[in-house]
Chains A and B, each alone.
Chain A
């Protein structure tokens, strides 16, 4: 095999071999190699199969813009779609090609290429329409998904990342010639500067090409080394290497991802990548340019590569992809490729330039002559041919004659584009340059400065001037730089987007988007079908989508479209470049907010006791609450809930209600504030009393409920629903600050400071008397809806006579630290009285029997207190409270609003379920006029059948009538509409 190494490259350590596997075959590269450069060293051409037609594809570029060479990194949790052109190899790395079966060389899917005349733009939309809608979901889509696509998603998400915040004055994006010069001018100033470079080497074009011969009288490499040394000495400049800026947000908020393991296997227990979140005053974009390709027949064959990428492989990676390439260009940027090759005594097989002899730079002309290289001017490459890789090309010269040349490699250049993605993400405005045939940044929207080729300034002689002019606002010392060039200083290009086809055939293709297999024919078809707006055309053809976002081809597509429509490119416009600039992994975005840190779990102070006693937990917001306590492994949820409910009604039960929101309200005007926040009136209420209260929105709808304890006119404690706690506090704060700032009132959450135990059942009083022996629990001294503070074992506790089950009961509030001690004491005493712990499901059943609502289950933000039949809770004498006026709006006083009722199946064996609709008619005929739906439904062990709560239109008037509940089997169940209370209607047990 030929030696393809360029030992002059200082970036590759040829003494250190690195072994890796590609598709199971052993390869080696050297320290510093990417997967692509290492494979090119072995002459490997085919890297993957294409997205749609399964055509063999090779390495097209040498950087982030790569459309073809995407691989799966098996040794890194099977990371898909890694770009072989930037991913560095390491010892024992395992890489696999993508989208091929059974093997890369023989791929069954390539039959798609034979049927390709069928697969034109919009093929899927047009073809897979019938015979029935379900065919798409069940047959077509799974098949298409299997055949098309890129890498396979990894099965596990394991990578660890961390986030880092920066606040700086200046961010310089790109550490090439301009980035380094800009950074140098900030040395030892008062500006905090961050220099971001995506490569592991600073230098950019100085490393990648032989364009510059000498800079400040030094060889480029020496200049770069000295410059970095000076920058690193300066304390105000930080350099971030291996860091890709993906996102440019509003107010100079940037997001960049740093790869911590370049050229090494990521450690499983260490941070693999850092997501930098950067806020900066100014952003300097010196991120360079991207070369574009050209469309001609079979321009996707392995062995075709961008010219500047070829040169970068030679200079930066020390590998010569081919020793006899043909060069095809329409611009002056390819001159340095020829220079680089000739420096290594490599003679291209031919130089094909679409420009005429007079347009070509005289230096280039002389060089080609001197070295006896066949030169074709005014010529175009019409087609490339080969079986799985490039074998020959067809050149058509100015006279119309064709020449066939056998070659294994072709370097293509269609011109260069400033890398404007970040600039447009920042909302900066672009303008088409008719001379350089590309979009260039024109008007920044933020404090953004473009430098060098990123600004569309391709002339090295202007570098000094541009930097001094654009950085003038910072009042820095002017820079001086002397650049001695190898290649012409001025950039010249001739318009050429697509070469007209050589021999039109059904199977040969002229690609415009390599990653998505879009051909120039697809573009023509889309336009003829009316998709002539660039954003429509993109969606219809999938042009410039995918992981590369058409970085090397989207401008060509604009050119072709503008010619077809006979419009200026500026009128065609570009599609909008959206972040991210290049794909970034979810692991990097997630940072430490994964697994147990994704959403915090909140636990009650007696959580451990629940676990020990076999509780099954339910998530209520972020809280973990015991759902039910099965008494054995075999007991089902239904059986447990029936047993728990029965026991509460017959003996006693205790519920951990610690998750209830608790808010303390204090201040001189606390009474007035509470009267405004809740519907109820607290004015006549005596201290030591508590009251069930409703909170409305300004629209009059029920937002939350809870029990309010009045300690004095200046001190209240309210409870809220578990899920509503944060919102209720926020609402109180909002009104206190914005509407009634004149009121002297303060509020604070005390949810987590106190545990709450809800104990109820006929034997409760006996248990309480034994546990808290010094307290008198008689009805006379401790009546229903009152509370008392007591000292118990040196801890202040608050006991309230209240119940959510319908049985007589107490709520005990204890400081969180003493919670488990007191809880366990109650359990110990309670055993003798048949006390059991119960969970949320039993609580729901018991409260529903009593007709107590749960806000958010029986209400949905469209239910007023009147709809719930809770008119008695509205303070009639109050002049104002949140939502008061809404209760008399014409819409809220309509009689046919949905109102809360109870329902019982007429036939007691029937089962009704939550969510079922209520109908007036028995027959199930569509359309079904629906009255409302069942909001809560349970099987009651006390009644021996199912029952439910429902909200139905005009419900209060319909009480006592019959209706039907619809089932999912399109049947109906006859039901009786009753009052929403099923147990102890006279509250005798409650106040006993």
Chain B
């Protein structure tokens, strides 16, 4: 279980939170000006990288506040937590820190020895 550092309440167990998917996805206004494709991409398409990810969480069983974080999806490590109105922190400073569990390869089985 993750330990998530709510920017309003402090570190709490994951069970108090709900995940809100990718962060910094801008909602276009609902006008007819934008194309079906553009709107469809906002509604349906999200990125799902293995590695660093801007992500939204909400402290459902706590302060009920939404906030953002940078999480490494391959290790589950939460590298930075920030409020919605804080500036989006650059990912660059974490790029060298990526390590995967047990040094497994970038894709595929969790057991690297199986792949050999």
A350 to chain B, nearest CB (A): 39
B72 to chain A, nearest CB (A): 12
Given A443-B103, A879-B30, A574 and B113 touching (CB < 8 A)? yes
Given A734-B66, A738-B56, A249 and B39 touching (CB < 8 A)? no
B76 within 8 A of A: yes
B91 within 8 A of A: no
Asked if B43 and A886 sit within 8 Å, CB to CB, the answer is: yes
Asked if B111 and A739 sit within 8 Å, CB to CB, the answer is: no
B86 within 8 A of A: no
Asked if A889 and B36 sit within 8 Å, CB to CB, the answer is: yes
Asked if A889 and B39 sit within 8 Å, CB to CB, the answer is: yes
B98 within 8 A of A: no
Nearest B residue to A729 by beta-carbon distance? B64
B90 within 8 A of A: no
A875 to chain B, nearest CB (A): 11
Q: Which of A221-262 contact B (CB under 8 A)?
A: 249-251, 253
Asked if A429 and B66 sit within 8 Å, CB to CB, the answer is: no
A568 to chain B, nearest CB (A): 10
B82-116 vs A, CB cutoff 8 Å, 1 = contact: the mask equals 00110000000000000101110000001111101
Asked if A571 and B116 sit within 8 Å, CB to CB, the answer is: yes
Nearest B residue to A887 by beta-carbon distance? B30
Given A573-B113, A698-B43, A881-B30, A253 and B3 touching (CB < 8 A)? yes
**Measured CA separation A49–B25 after assembly (Å):** 61
**Measured CA separation A154–B34 after assembly (Å):** 62
Asked if B114 and A534 sit within 8 Å, CB to CB, the answer is: yes
**Measured CA separation A279–B58 after assembly (Å):** 22
A residues within 8 A CB of B85?
A: 741
Contact of A572 among B39, B60, B113 (CB under 8 A): B113
Asked if A279 and B114 sit within 8 Å, CB to CB, the answer is: no
| Residue total for A at the interface (Cβ-Cβ under 8 A) | 38
Asked if A880 and B29 sit within 8 Å, CB to CB, the answer is: yes
B residues within 8 A CB of A534?
A: 113-114
B residues within 8 A CB of A733?
A: 58, 64, 66
Asked if A880 and B31 sit within 8 Å, CB to CB, the answer is: yes
B75 to chain A, nearest CB (A): 8
B1-34 vs A, CB cutoff 8 Å, 1 = contact: the mask equals 1110000000001000000100000011111101
**Measured CA separation A575–B113 after assembly (Å):** 9
B49 within 8 A of A: no
Asked if A445 and B84 sit within 8 Å, CB to CB, the answer is: no
**Measured CA separation A429–B112 after assembly (Å):** 10
**Measured CA separation A253–B4 after assembly (Å):** 12
B73 to chain A, nearest CB (A): 13
Nearest A residue to B67 by beta-carbon distance? A737
A445 to chain B, nearest CB (A): 6
A residues within 8 A CB of B39?
A: 885-886, 889
Nearest B residue to A567 by beta-carbon distance? B116
A535 within 8 A of B: yes
A residues within 8 A CB of B56?
A: 738
B residues within 8 A CB of A19?
A: none
Given A445-B102, A880-B29, A880-B31, A279 and B3 touching (CB < 8 A)? yes
A890 within 8 A of B: yes
Nearest B residue to A878 by beta-carbon distance? B30
A427 within 8 A of B: yes
Asked if A573 and B111 sit within 8 Å, CB to CB, the answer is: yes
**Measured CA separation A738–B34 after assembly (Å):** 21
A868-903 vs B, CB cutoff 8 Å, 1 = contact: the mask equals 000000000001110011101110000000000000
**Measured CA separation A490–B69 after assembly (Å):** 50
**Measured CA separation A443–B28 after assembly (Å):** 47
A33 to chain B, nearest CB (A): 38
B residues within 8 A CB of A572?
A: 113
B residues within 8 A CB of A889?
A: 36, 39-40
B35-51 vs A, CB cutoff 8 Å, 1 = contact: the mask equals 01001101110000000
Asked if A427 and B27 sit within 8 Å, CB to CB, the answer is: no
A residues within 8 A CB of B44?
A: 699
Given A572-B113, A879-B29, A734 and B102 touching (CB < 8 A)? no
A residues within 8 A CB of B32?
A: 885, 888
Asked if B43 and A428 sit within 8 Å, CB to CB, the answer is: no
Q: Which of A574-607 contact B (CB under 8 A)?
A: 574-576
Asked if B64 and A698 sit within 8 Å, CB to CB, the answer is: no
Asked if B114 and A573 sit within 8 Å, CB to CB, the answer is: yes
A residues within 8 A CB of B116?
A: 571, 573
A residues within 8 A CB of B31?
A: 879-880, 885
Asked if B103 and A249 sit within 8 Å, CB to CB, the answer is: no
B residues within 8 A CB of A279?
A: 3, 13
B residues within 8 A CB of A886?
A: 39, 43
Asked if B43 and A699 sit within 8 Å, CB to CB, the answer is: yes
**Measured CA separation A534–B112 after assembly (Å):** 12
**Measured CA separation A737–B74 after assembly (Å):** 29
By Cβ-Cβ distance, the 7 closest A-B pairs, closest first, are: A573-B113, A880-B30, A884-B30, A427-B101, A885-B30, A251-B3, A737-B66
Contact surface of B with A, Cβ cutoff 8 Å: 1-3, 13, 20, 27-32, 34, 36, 39-40, 42-44, 56, 58, 60, 64-66, 75-76, 84-85, 99, 101-103, 110-114, 116
18 intermolecular pairs with C-beta atoms under 8 Å apart: A427-B101, A427-B102, A570-B113, A571-B113, A573-B113, A573-B116, A574-B113, A575-B111, A698-B27, A698-B43, A733-B66, A738-B56, A738-B66, A741-B85, A884-B30, A885-B39, A886-B39, A889-B39
